[in-house]
Chain A
Amino acid sequence: MTTVVGGIGTSHVPAVGAAIDNGKQEERYWRPYFDKIRPAREWMAAEQPDVCIIVYNDHASAFSLRLIPTFALGVAAEFQPADEGYGRRQVPVVQGHPELAWHLAESLIGDEFDITIVNEMDVDHGLTVPLSVMYGEPETWPCQVIPICVNVIQYPPPSGKRCLSLGRAIRRALDSYEGSDAEGLRVAVFGTGGMSHQLQGERAGLVNPAFDTAFMDDLIAEPDAGSLRPHTDYIREAGSEGIELVMWLVMRGVLDDQVDEVFRMNHVPTSNTSNGLLILQNARDV
C-alpha cells in the first residue's frame, strides 16, 4: 500500500518551461508568477514523493490524429522529452515506474477502465512543464513518473464525471499495490492544463478568472457536482482550451472525499493563459 501525499493541479504553459530553460524567471514579466509559486515548490521539497502520477494531454507530439486514445498509461522505464517543433526540450529524461504502472494497468482494466497501454512515448510540455513548475531545474528529476495521457484536443474529451471516476479507480489501484517497493511508497498525483484560456480563433486570449476560482472551489468541496459540468460550459466560459481542466478531476478523484487546501495561486497572464496552481491533501481530521 502506498501513501498519497497530495494532489497538484497546475497549468502546463509551454512559455513557463521556456522561461525556466532560458533563465528568465527574474524578468519583470515572469517574476510575479515565480514568486507566487515558491511556497508550492517548498511543499514539494518537504513532501518528497517517490512517484508522481502526471495526468496531462499530449499536444500532437507522441500521438496525432492518426491514433487518439482517450486515456493512455505509460508503462516504460523512461520517457524522452518530445520534439514539438523546436527540438527536444533540454530537461532530464523522465524515469518511469514500470512495476507500479503495470499494476495500475491491471487494476484499472479489472475495474472496467480500459486504458491504452503505451510502451514507447515521448512526453511533451504537458508533462515536463509541471515537473519544472514544482522542481525547478534539477540535474535529474527527483521522482519517478507515471504518465497518464488524456485526449482533450480531438473533441469530445472524456466527461468530467469519467475523469473523476478514473481518479478514484487509480486510488483503488494505489491502495492495493503490493509491489517490491510498496511499503511506504510516497505518491503524488498531478492534474494539469487549464486554467481558462483560448488559443484559437477571433476569441483568442479569452480568460475568465471568476470561472477559475469557482472551478477550484467546486473541485475541493463538491467534486461530484462539479464533475457534471457540461463540455460546452467549459468551452463557452473557460475558452476552447480551458476544457483541459477536466484533467484536474482525475487528480481530485485520487484524493479522499474530504481534502485540505494547502496552496492556491492564480496568475494572469502567462502567455495566453490564466495560470493556476492548487495543492490539496487528504483531510487530516478524517
Chain B
Amino acid sequence: MATARDYDDIPGTYVFDGRRSQQGYRLNMFCMSLNDEANRERFRTDEAAYLDGFDLTPQQRRAVLERDWLGLLQLGGNIYYTFKLAILDGLSMQDVGGAMSGVTGAEFNQMMIDGGRSIEGNRRIDESAATHGSSGHTS
C-alpha cells in the first residue's frame, strides 16, 4: 500500500479505505452472501466448496476457514462484513474483540464493564509501543 495517510499511525486500527476495499472486495462480498439463509446453509454444509464460488486469495480462504479474525482484517476484511461469519458461528462481538486483541471473550467483556480500553497510551503507535511494548501496526 503506497500512499501514507495521517491515520496510519493509529495503533491496532485498520481503516477501511480504498486500499483495503480493493484488497478485500471479494472477501467482503463472500461475507455479505451470508445475509441469506440459503447461503448460510450451503456454507455450513461444505465451507470449502462454498468458498470456491468467491475467487478469494489463498490467504483469505485460509483466514476464513481458520476463523482468523485479525488476519481477515489484515487481508482487506471489514469488521461489519467479517462479523457475519462470527454470527454464523454463534460468536459475540466480545468474542471477536477478544480474539483480535489477544484475550478471551469473557476477559474482553470484563474489560468493557470496567470502562473499556483507555485512550491513554493508545492514540499513536509510538506511545502505544512505549506503554505496552506492542507495536499494533496497521499495515
Contacts and interface: CB of A to CB of B under 8 A. Distances in A.
Interface of A: 15, 29, 59-61, 64-66, 82-87, 153-156, 198-208, 210-211, 231-232, 235-237, 240-241, 268-269, 271-272, 274
B35 to A, nearest CB: 5
Contacts of B25: 65
Contacts of B11: 202-203
Contact of B34 (A85, A231, A274): A85
A-B pairs, top 9 by smallest CB distance, nearest first, are A202-B12, A203-B12, A207-B116, A85-B87, A204-B97, A200-B79, A269-B112, A205-B117, A155-B17
B101 interface: yes
Contacts of B36: 83
Q: Which of B34, B40, B112, B123 has the most CB of A within 10 A?
A: B112
B15 A240 contact: yes
Interface residues of B, number: 55
A272 B94 contact: yes
A205 B101 contact: yes
B116 A269 contact: yes
Given A200-B13, A207-B116, 4 more contacts: A60-B80, A83-B36, A205-B117, A232-B6
Overall SS of chain A's interface: loop
Contacts, number: 149
Given A201-B70, A202-B70, A85 B94 contact: no
A63 to B, nearest CB: 10
Given A205-B111, A207-B116, A268-B116, A198 B35 contact: no
Nearest to A206: B117
Contacts of B17: 155-156
B21 interface: yes
B28 interface: yes
Contacts of B78: 60, 65, 153-154
A203 B13 contact: yes
A83 to B, nearest CB: 5
18 contacts: A15-B93, A60-B81, A65-B25, A65-B28, A65-B29, A83-B37, A85-B87, A153-B80, A155-B15, A199-B93, A201-B73, A201-B136, A204-B96, A204-B117, A205-B116, A206-B119, A236-B10, A268-B112
Contacts of B87: 84-86
Given A202-B134, A203-B10, A237 B119 contact: yes
B64 interface: no
B119 A202 contact: no
Contacts of B21: 65, 154
Interface in B1-20: 6-7, 10-18
